Amino acid sequence: MNYRIVRVVLLCLSLFAAPAFAQDSAYTEGAVVQVSSIKVVDGQFENYLAYLQKNWKGVMEEAKKAGYVIDYGVYRNDAHNPQEPDLYLVVTYPNMATLDGMQAKMAPIMKKVTNLSVKEADEASGKRVVMRELLGSELLRELKLK
């Protein structure tokens, strides 16, 4: 028997089997959650929350209407030491693909809500250091168990 023919047949069969292996997974990929850790400067908590209520919430509501955001929230943390965040800003996106070109998608929303261009919004973000410090941000992918 010609081994070359056997190898080609086995290769073809393995290509058809690959999708079947993927279906055996115990999960499907779900939404993507971005969590930003915020350390609020002493004495600025109410000022920062007022900013979030006025600008950030408005941007998130418009992003929800556009379908870019599923949900969002602000979570308070009882920090156990000075290096831990006081707040978490959490934004849930439908999937990873939604994040492609996000700055271009959000620019008109930012302009509508805050009346600031992308450059002006970036400068304003830098000025908020008097109220808060961004400690970091991470993306989490939901895995929905079957």
Domain membership of residue 61 (yes or no) is yes
Domain membership of residue 22 (yes or no) is no
How many domains in the chain? 1
Residues 74-124 pLDDT 10s: 999 998 998 999 999 999 999 999 999 999 999 999 889 988 877 887 787
Q: Which domain holds residue 46?
A: 27-145
Residues 46-68 pLDDT 10s: 999 999 999 999 999 999 999 99
Residue 128: per-residue pLDDT: 81
Domain membership of residue 17 (yes or no) is no
Could you give the count of Cα atoms lying within 13 Å of 2 in the half-sphere of its Cβ? Answer: 4
Lowest-confidence segment of 11-20, 23-32, 33-42, 77-86 by average pLDDT: 11-20
Domain membership of residue 100 (yes or no) is yes
